[in-house]
Structure 1
Amino acid sequence: MSSTSSAPPWDVHRLPRAEGSVFLVTGGNAGIGYFIAEQLSATGATVVLGCRNPARAEAALTSIRHRVPGAQVRAIRLDLADLSSLSAAVESLEVSALHAVVHNAGVALDDPPRRETGDGHELMFGTNHLGHFALTGLLMPLLSAAPAARVVTVGSFAAKSERLDLDDLQSRRDYQAKRTYGRTKLAQMYFGLELDRRLRTHGSSVESAVVHPGGALDALTPSRPPVHVRSLGARLRAAPAALLVQGKHAGAWPAVRAVLDPAARGGQLWGPRLFSLRGAPRHEAAWSHLADTAVAAGLWDASCDLTDHLRSLGARPSARRRLSGPCDASNS
């Protein structure tokens, strides 16, 4: 993520070319992930959609190819809720190097009851955070094989008002669907920033940044049939909201910039320009609670214990906490 002082102003409609690069977008078949994949495919890069549902993946591929003639885009089956399946998913990439991964996929439950993955983890925490944590560990050799590769983690504005309880990461004592979702997105954001700190400590060429889409509504999102169809009625009803929020196509812009902009840096947070809710993407100050490195380190240790991944990045020497357990190992 090197700086280029002579680079022209960033234009979301005139993206830099990226031929020869390979980008993986988890959850690239719908929502913000779809638009991240569509926009990245317009750069000439090879874009791989990591999707759980093959039929939905095929619909997204068809839509992207229609919108971007000549798009180099394909899909792999990726189920972040099933940790044992991730090795096979990475193998199916069939590439020697990966230039960026966008951690976008996620589960959002609106109502109780609390549900668990097959591994026994709370479904949203297990999918949104632990799945991406383990996937990153498996992808690290491919990322390290590319020059200046990037890990871009998509958080949520909903995480700004949440705080992590390291003693109840699985929401066994305090499960409220919307709160738990916000906390899992917060966990992802802590992870993305902590990952970059550890990569810097280990002298890695890989960098990790965090983004959030601001306020992104389906009703303000342009149609991409059959992936997304917006009715005229929905568009009219949502028109007043466009003063404050935006569609999911615009919600994709911070992630796309974090992948492509030569001036972007690891450890940064990117979001919409206007009140962090809408507009062109910009680098913004990290939220105050995201600066709590003790929480980030505690989450890292717990995630390592729960997934048995990313041991090679071990402990940061500057982390002010008692360090013990498998995450402290110096080798995978």
Structure 2
Amino acid sequence: MSSLHSPDTWDVKRLPRAEGKNFLVTGGNAGIGYFVAEQLAGTGATVILGSRDTAKAEAARVAIRAHVPGAHVRHIRLDLADLSSLKGSADALKLERLDAVVYNAGVLLDQPPRRVTEDGNELMFATNHLGHFALTWWLAPLLTATPVSRVVTTGSFTAKSESLDLDDLQSTRDYRPKRTYARSKLAQMLFGLELDRRLRAVGSTTLSVVTHPGGALDSLTPARPPVHLRTTGERLRGLPAGLLLQSKEAAAWPAVRAVLDPSVRGGQLWGPRVFGIRGLPILEPIRGDLADTELAARVWAASSGLTGLDPCSNLG
């Protein structure tokens, strides 16, 4: 029986202990990222929330500690859209080792106009992909100092049905917010897979793993005041959607497994069991554009040119 369809022994409610380990979660102050951080905090590890909003990060820290008594949680300011700020964010970690980073933060704009960062990059592409690409350069020494550390890149189910225009990665000619978002997440997933190939090529023990959360709704998500509030009416309205989608708590499971499961290997893709949309986290096949190594290498080269950095060059 293929490992893709073998019985799943991973228990999302009984995670392995991880005392003494350090995990960074970008965008850990809200949404799926919050539940990734909360679940990792329950293992006894130290969890650092990376967020551009310090007040929201502190609210998330308080909420996690209320749900996980004694949790070791702190936060740093992290603005992925500002490339010049990333060194300061990495320095603010004040760590000698980093066991895993979960690249979860993302921006989804609902409508035009197209927005750009101070660096001149389209906002979603800059935040979802370029910021994480550049942050890897600054985190590389910490990851290298930690045997079998992990980089977990959170993609999107929608990215798997999208394609990239290498001549218009930043949607200057064809800006449609949802499509631009999906393309930014596809670039991010290609980065995660290419990162593992490059790590293997230089003999690094750091693993790069790609995940996606499937489909998740706030109305199905348990309350975590003040980070997430849910009324009875919202809960009832969300029940029909529960047949197809899931809560953001469940959507965190693939990333959490990618961080903690000793059977996980670099270069893998993990997502929800049921049609890739909901359910327990399982290993998925890598198909289509995600399997295109030439495309991934070209996206890497373009990203290096836009950021002025090559993450793997800082591993020594």
Q: TM-score, normalised by structure 2?
A: 0.96
**1:147 Cα shift?**
1.1
Equivalent residues of 2:140, 2:311 under 8 A apart = no
SS at match of 1:216: coil
CA distance in 2, matches of 1:96, 1:309: 22
Change (3 A) 1:269 1:205: same
Amino acid at match of 2:44: G
Which aligned pairs between 1:174-193 and structure 2 lie closer than 5 A? 174-193=174-193
1:119 is matched by which residue type in structure 2?
D
Cα distance in structure 2, aligned partners of 1:20 and 1:11:
22
Deviations 1:268-299 (A, max 9, x none): 00000111111110111113220011110110
Partners of 2:222 and 2:312 in 1: CA distance = 43
What is the percent sequence identity of the aligned residues? 67
Contact 2:212 2:254 in 1 (8 A): yes
Counterpart residue number, 1:292:
292
After superposing the two structures, state which structure 1 stretch, 51-60 or 231-240, moved more.
Answer: 231-240
Measure, in 2, the Cα distance between the counterparts of 1:162 and 1:235: 32
Counterpart of 2:74 in structure 1 is: 74
Tell me, yes or no, if the aligned pair for 2:144 and 2:315 is still in contact at 8 Å.
no
Describe the shift of the 1:158–1:285 C-alpha distance in structure 2 as closer, same or farther (beyond 3 A): same
**Counterpart in the other structure of 1:18:** 18
Distance between the aligned counterparts of 1:331 and 1:102, measured in 2? 18
Q: Are residue 167 (structure 1) and residue 160 (structure 2) matched?
A: no
3-state SS, counterpart of residue 270 of structure 1: strand
Counterpart in the other structure of 1:255: 255
**CA deviations over 1:20-41 (Å, ceiling 9, x no partner):** 1000000000000000000000
User: What does residue 98 of structure 1 align with?
Assistant: 98
RMSD: 1.3
1:53 and 2:49 matched: no
Q: For residues 177-221 of structure 1, what are the alpha-carbon distances to aligned partners after superposition, in whole Å with 9 as ceiling and x for unaligned? A: 000000001111000000000000110011100000001111110
Determine if the alignment matches structure 1 residue 116 to structure 2 residue 112: no
Cα distance in 1 between the residues matched to 2:292 and 2:315? 26
Write the deviation string for residues 213-258 of structure 1: whole angstroms up to 9, x where unpaired. 0011111100001100111111111111111110000000000000
- What amino acid is the match of 1:170? Q
Aligned residue for 1:326? none
The 3-state SS of whatever aligns with 1:272 is strand
Which residue is 1:277 aligned to?
Answer: 277
CA distance in 1, matches of 2:261, 2:312: 28
Q: How does 1:136-285 map to 2 (within 5 A)?
A: 136-285=136-285
TM-score by length of 1: 0.91
Deviation (angstroms), 1:56: 0.3
Q: Number of paired residues?
A: 309
Q: Residue 239 of structure 2: SS of its match in structure 1?
A: helix
> In structure 2, how many angstroms separate the alpha carbons of the residues matched to 1:311 and 1:248?
30
* Matched residue SS, 1:182: helix
Gaps of 5+ in 2: 1-7
Displacement, 1:311?
5.6
- Report how far residue 158 of structure 1 moved: 1.1
Structure 2 counterpart of 1:53, one-letter code = D
Gaps of 5+ in 1: 1-7, 314-329
Q: Within 2, Cα distance between the matches of 1:16 and 1:101?
A: 17
